[in-house]
Amino acid sequence: MGEPRIEVVDDDVELARVGARSIADLVRADPEVTIVPATGETPLGTYAALADLHRDGDLPTEAVSVVQLDEYLGLMSEDRRSLFGWMDRTFLTPLEITGERVTRLPIDGDLDDACAAIDRTLATRGIDLAILGLGSNGHVGFNEPPVSAGAPTRVVHLTPPTVEANARYWGSAQDVPTEAVTLGMRPLLAAASVVVLVSGARKHEIVRRALEGPVGEDVPASFLRTAAGDVTVIVDRAAWEGL
Ligand code: F6R
């Protein structure tokens, strides 16, 4: 554990390049990694750059496993708007990570039981690399504030800022599911490596609060400063300086 390493990059293009390089270095060092990849907009360029490396034969993925970070509840499992669908299109398919190497979060049945089972598995197998984004309310995954550092994988209720932020994908805020499942703070904070990608002036205030404000439940991402493993925050100048 130590202070997060902060890497300030010029723009989206550099974010993608530096993000992909950091992730690719970790995968090359240990091709059997278990990765938790965030969905959302920020990592898209990074995932596309990883896909390029993979296509060029520079990124082996045959032994990579993936655990889903978060998922909406109330959708059919094949719904394109599911976060699994997003992860599949942007990360799994381009990197050819398939089948039993992918752990999906539960969306039906006894969710509490299934979430506890995931945490038990992660407690032994561990997350090697969590690739996270930052919500404008400080959430990581769907760990909405207030949340404790010990929060397990569980069903959560999405807060109005998150519903608002995701309305653009759903047509209107009324259509955004309000229930979700998320990996908890506890398994995420135990990851060996965490790479956080942050972009755009609208993230300025929250990225500064997360990295420089008090560590606590009001800003879930602030707990990354207490994470067990290495934390790297790659942030573009617009977000870092609020330009
Ligand atoms: C997505 C996720 C969220 C996003 C965050 C930032 O799986 O877990 O925590 O990472 O909301 O989203 P973007 O990148 O769209 O600003």
CA of 38 to the centre of ligand 1 (A): 6
Q: Is 41 in the pocket of ligand 1 (CB under 6 A)?
A: yes
137 given a catalytic annotation? yes
Choice among 54, 71, 88, 137 that is catalytic: 137
Q: Is 198 in the pocket of ligand 1 (CB under 6 A)?
A: no
Tokens 């938790």: give the residue. Answer: 36
Write out the two tokens for 156. Answer: 């959560």
11 given a catalytic annotation? no
CA of 220 to the centre of ligand 1 (A): 13
Is 48 in contact with 39 (CB distance < 8 Å)?
no
Predicted confidence at residue 243, as pLDDT, reads: 82
Q: Is 39 in the pocket of ligand 1 (CB under 6 A)?
A: yes
CA of 169 to the centre of ligand 1 (A): 12
Predicted confidence at residue 143, as pLDDT, reads: 98
Q: What is the mean pLDDT of each run of 10 residues along the chain (243 residues)?
A: 90 98 98 98 98 98 98 92 96 96 97 98 96 98 98 97 94 95 98 98 98 98 98 98 91
Name which of 160, 142, 115 is nearest 220 in CA terms: 142
166 given a catalytic annotation? no
pLDDT in tens, 149-202: 999 999 999 999 999 999 999 999 999 999 999 999 999 999 999 999 999 999
Q: Is 189 in the pocket of ligand 1 (CB under 6 A)?
A: no
54 given a catalytic annotation? no
Dist CA 96 CA 85 (whole Å): 14
* Mutate which of 137, 140, 168, 188 for ligand 1 pocket (most atoms within 8 A of beta carbon): 140
Predicted confidence at residue 98, as pLDDT, reads: 93
Distances (CA, A) of 101 to 31, 65, 127, 176: 13, 5, 13, 29
DSSP string, 155-221: EEEPPHHHHHHHHHHHSSGGGS--EEEE--HHHHHT-SEEEEEE-SGGGHHHHHHHHHS--STTSGG
Choice among 71, 88, 144, 236 that is catalytic: 144
Write out the two tokens for 50. Answer: 């990883």
